[in-house]
Structure 1
Amino acid sequence: MNNQQFSVIYDNHHYWLKNAHIPVCLVETDFDIPSQTREGLSLMDIEISEGLITQVVYSSTHLPSLETNIPTIDLKGGQVWPCFVDMHTHLDKGHIWVRSPNSDGSFNGALDAGARDAKEYWNAEDIYRRMEFGLKCSYAHGTKAIRTHLDCFAEQANISLEVFQALQKDWEGRLILQPVSLVTGDYYLSEAGEKLADKVADVGGILGAVPFMSSDIDNQLDRLFSLAKERQLDLDLHTDENGDPNSRVLHKVAEKAISHQFSGEIICGHCCSLAVQTQEKVTETLELVKEAGISIVSLPMCNLYLQNRQDNYTPRWRGVTLLHELKKQGISVAIASDNCRDPFFGFGDHDVLEVFNMSVRIAHLDMPYGDWPNAVTKTPADLIGLPNIGRIRVGLSADLILFKGRNFSELLSRSQHDRVVLRNGRVIDRSLPDYCELDSLFGVAELKYE
């Protein structure tokens, strides 16, 4: 595939994509889709007209384009996916590794480095430029919707939320952006926490927190649920991002959701400690989570990087929650990128295909792949209230990613840097921003190699 092959799209508002392998789980039709490969792919043709998907048919079906001279592009079995949904990110922290690296790679090291960087550098310009850099990457790689957690302690809330709203406006029509407040759970016990909840409601955001196991965990969660119910806000929480089997915040959140009869959406991210708890505790927690209607988002790349890190020690644990067990229980499970080039994860490029690729390897999401492609498309879209994206269906916008990889081995063995991204049926410019765009934020001295 190359852009020259797609030149017909620039000149035509009506064309066919022919011989596309599509994960069946990502296609919504009013007929059963046969001819699946052993990996759950089906060879299909997609008609696009005026930016919309107008037909999805089997590739063996006689194409009307052969009679009416509608242009066709033969994808030769390459895969087609809907655009990605990245439902758990930290764009405000992104790309600070150069000036604030994590000296020992630990979780506490990340907290310390991030706090120092925020205190010294986080003004409106700094946050805007780094967040926009991340958005440029996400857009070029094929993401359509992003939910980002934003540090919101004290005055930082005003700065970060104002920057977010500016970016939301500037990227309207290209990216759907949602903000989540990020503070420790005890912050909401204060007057400042209540004001933050009001501010989150004003900007149409989601109430977020990091509740830790402590003597006042019940008070923290009771207050959090009360603030959310009063303002009709959904909740998106960081829970149990550690390897301590006694850390059972997820269990506590489920109990409180049930006792408060909370009807809003509840997302719990990370849930790492679940993987090191006894089977009895796991079973008890999963039953409560299902009853409470809580959904889980796993962040495999960041958790693999931070969890179980010790000096001169090879980690025995991958740091990832119980994805298969959660899903088997009927609990919605999504996967997202989390941090990017900051003290919590020193790598990444806001590419959800990389997230899916690494997650497949880390958590064994293959053999079979089943409907795991939903975890970065349909499922997160549904969880964040966007039921018309992250899937391929007649009548929806032709927001698609076209890959050369014909099967999952091909798709996940190369970077697919030559993918083609369509938005409203048109090929977008996939040029990635140059890292030098951020140099002036870091200073010449910081860029010298020792």
Structure 2
Amino acid sequence: MDLIFRNVRIDDAQPLVDVAVQAGKIAEIAQHIASTAGREIQGEGKVLVAGFVEGHLHLEKANVMQRKANRSGTLKEAIAVTAELKPTLTREDIRERSIQVLRALVQAGTTHVRAHAEFDPAQGFTGLEVVLELREAFREVIDIQVVAFPQEGILKLPGMPAMMAQAMEMGADVVGGIPYNDLSAQEHIDFVFDLAKRYGKDIDLHQDFADDAEHMTIEYVARRTIAEGYQGRVCVGHLTSLAAVSPARQAQVIALLREADISVMCLPATDLHLGARGDSHNVRRTLTPVRALRDGGVTVCLATNNIRNAFTPYGTGDLLHIAQLAIPACHLGGADDQATVLSMLTTNPAKALGLKHHGLAVGNDADLVLVDCRAVADVILDLPTRLMVLKRGKVVATAEHRRSVAF
């Protein structure tokens, strides 16, 4: 074997086990592995988990909040501030800040990230080009799925439909969209589906990000998903409007989402910050209804979205910080609820992103994190030190070295 973890905890209900890695894969999991390895890690009862999966992140506009502030804290001003900044962002600037974020992700145990890279006629393709380059440069350290994301809309910008197609030709992995920020939400959705079908790509939408449900279009997305046979290939982020509908309608929408097999990314850091800015008292949480979605059979995930910019003026890139924010905000603090949170950082987003070989099982990629705690249930509570991070069997970060060894 190439590497063996000895006496690690992977399940609180089971004894300690050894986990062997060979040729980038998990080769064996047993209470005692007779084989030896070139490198053996004494776990001493510490927890080994599958690598975290960051399902929704904007790399190229991270760490810019000092350049122009969002004074009102509203979504409208966040979009305006970012639109003003984007033409000033150079290739070198985007690359430097994106690498800062990727380094933080890897050190925190994230082994996959879906990055929404935006472009428009004013900015050009600079951001998308840099993120595509980083996908190739760091593929041995972290897998990056690149979403072609039209933040400023598609239909309302001259030349943007052609730019969307060009982004796919350039190598984007996923077709993105933002129906609520365009002339017609339904026409925007139709364009995204048509483009995705043309290139055989999955879809990821910024969907129904509002305090109320007046203009909600998730039902149209779900029905189009079913009609096109795109079940399991559509993901939506935000979906905060779903919390504003009646319980009866919410149940109907959730049943439709389950039928369409649409995954939902809850983005608590951004949505709590921007949401309910017009409320004078008894301020709403403005989060997608995580527990109802989970209990209704929908794949629901927790993700970061933005780091230190006009949309989210804080953040570290550590998904465990997002989990700790979501636990009280989404009422996930009960014992039974807590038991479901870790999967919202690992197996659920892996399913949402279509990852075929992720998870702590023999034959899967050895994307693993050894953490400094002794119960799997405590991982989301302790914010434990990430002692070692493996990407396909290669050690890419350790607690002793605050920088990933691969950067």
TM superposition score normalised by structure 1: 0.80
| Matching residue within 309, 313, 320 for 1:342 | 309
One-letter amino acid of the structure 2 residue matched with residue 177 of structure 1: I
One-letter amino acid of the structure 2 residue matched with residue 225 of structure 1: F
2:223 maps to: 255
One-letter amino acid of the structure 2 residue matched with residue 341 of structure 1: R
Shift of 1:138: 1.0
Out of 105-114 and 135-144, give the one that drifted further: 105-114
Shift of 1:223: 2.6
2:357 maps to: 388
Aligned: 1:321 with 2:291:
no
One-letter amino acid of the structure 2 residue matched with residue 230 of structure 1: R
Q: Number of aligned residue pairs: give it.
A: 399
CA–CA distance in structure 1, aligned partners of residues 246 and 229 of structure 2: 28
Does the 8 Å CA contact 1:213/1:247 hold for their aligned counterparts?
no
One-letter amino acid of the structure 2 residue matched with residue 381 of structure 1: A
Q: Map 1:241-390; keep pairs closer than 5 Å.
A: 241-262=209-230, 265-310=233-278, 316-366=283-333, 367-368=335-336, 369-389=338-358
Does the 8 Å CA contact 1:86/1:337 hold for their aligned counterparts?
yes
CA–CA distance in structure 2, aligned partners of residues 414 and 43 of structure 1: 20
2:34 maps to: 64
Aligned: 1:17 with 2:3:
no
Does the 8 Å CA contact 1:240/1:250 hold for their aligned counterparts?
yes
2:27 maps to: 54
| Matching residue within 161, 166, 174 for 1:194 | 161
Q: Describe the superposition over 1:84-118 as per-residue Cα deviations: whole angstroms up to 9, x where unpaired.
A: 11110011110001222222322223222222221
Larger Rg: 1
Aligned: 1:139 with 2:106:
yes
One-letter amino acid of the structure 1 residue matched with residue 56 of structure 2: H
Shift of 1:184: 5.2
Distance 1:252 1:167, change over 3 A: same
Aligned: 1:122 with 2:97:
no
Distance 1:412 1:232, change over 3 A: closer
Shift of 1:412: 4.0
Aligned: 1:43 with 2:16:
yes
Aligned: 1:158 with 2:91:
no
Shift of 1:343: 1.2
| SS at structure 2 position matched to 1:212 | helix
Distance 1:260 1:193, change over 3 A: farther
Distance 1:256 1:144, change over 3 A: same
CA–CA distance in structure 2, aligned partners of residues 188 and 219 of structure 1: 8
CA–CA distance in structure 2, aligned partners of residues 408 and 192 of structure 1: 50
Out of 159-168 and 410-419, give the one that drifted further: 410-419
One-letter amino acid of the structure 2 residue matched with residue 151 of structure 1: E
Q: Describe the superposition over 1:130-174 as per-residue Cα deviations: whole angstroms up to 9, x where unpaired.
A: 111111111121111111112221253421222122212211211
Does the 8 Å CA contact 1:302/1:338 hold for their aligned counterparts?
yes
Aligned: 1:180 with 2:168:
no
1:30 maps to: none
Does the 8 Å CA contact 1:50/1:425 hold for their aligned counterparts?
no
Q: Map 1:98-113; keep pairs closer than 5 Å.
A: 98-113=66-81
Shift of 1:48: 3.5
Distance 1:297 1:64, change over 3 A: same
One-letter amino acid of the structure 1 residue matched with residue 47 of structure 2: Q
Does the 8 Å CA contact 2:156/2:182 hold for their aligned counterparts?
no
One-letter amino acid of the structure 1 residue matched with residue 10 of structure 2: I
Q: Describe the superposition over 1:409-450 as per-residue Cα deviations: whole angstroms up to 9, x where unpaired.
A: 75344432353223315363554569xxxxxxxxxxxxxxxx
| SS at structure 1 position matched to 2:288 | coil
One-letter amino acid of the structure 1 residue matched with residue 108 of structure 2: H
Kindly, what percent of the aligned residue pairs are identical? 25
Shift of 1:214: 7.9
2:390 maps to: 422
| Matching residue within 218, 227, 234 for 2:186 | 218
Distance 1:85 1:182, change over 3 A: same
Structure 2: stretches of 5+ with no match in the other structure: none
One-letter amino acid of the structure 2 residue matched with residue 298 of structure 1: C
Out of 300-309 and 82-91, give the one that drifted further: 300-309
Q: CA RMSD in A?
A: 2.9
Shift of 1:270: 0.7
Distance 1:259 1:400, change over 3 A: closer
Distance 1:72 1:329, change over 3 A: same
Does the 8 Å CA contact 2:266/2:287 hold for their aligned counterparts?
yes
Does the 8 Å CA contact 2:119/2:151 hold for their aligned counterparts?
no
Shift of 1:73: 4.2
Distance 1:128 1:14, change over 3 A: closer
Distance 1:205 1:315, change over 3 A: farther
Does the 8 Å CA contact 1:255/1:292 hold for their aligned counterparts?
yes
| Matching residue within 74, 90, 98 for 2:58 | 90
Q: Describe the superposition over 1:205-234 as per-residue Cα deviations: whole angstroms up to 9, x where unpaired.
A: 211111128873333322332222223222
Does the 8 Å CA contact 1:14/1:48 hold for their aligned counterparts?
yes
TM superposition score normalised by structure 2: 0.87
| SS at structure 2 position matched to 1:393 | coil
CA–CA distance in structure 2, aligned partners of residues 63 and 169 of structure 1: 35
Does the 8 Å CA contact 1:51/1:426 hold for their aligned counterparts?
no
| SS at structure 2 position matched to 1:416 | coil
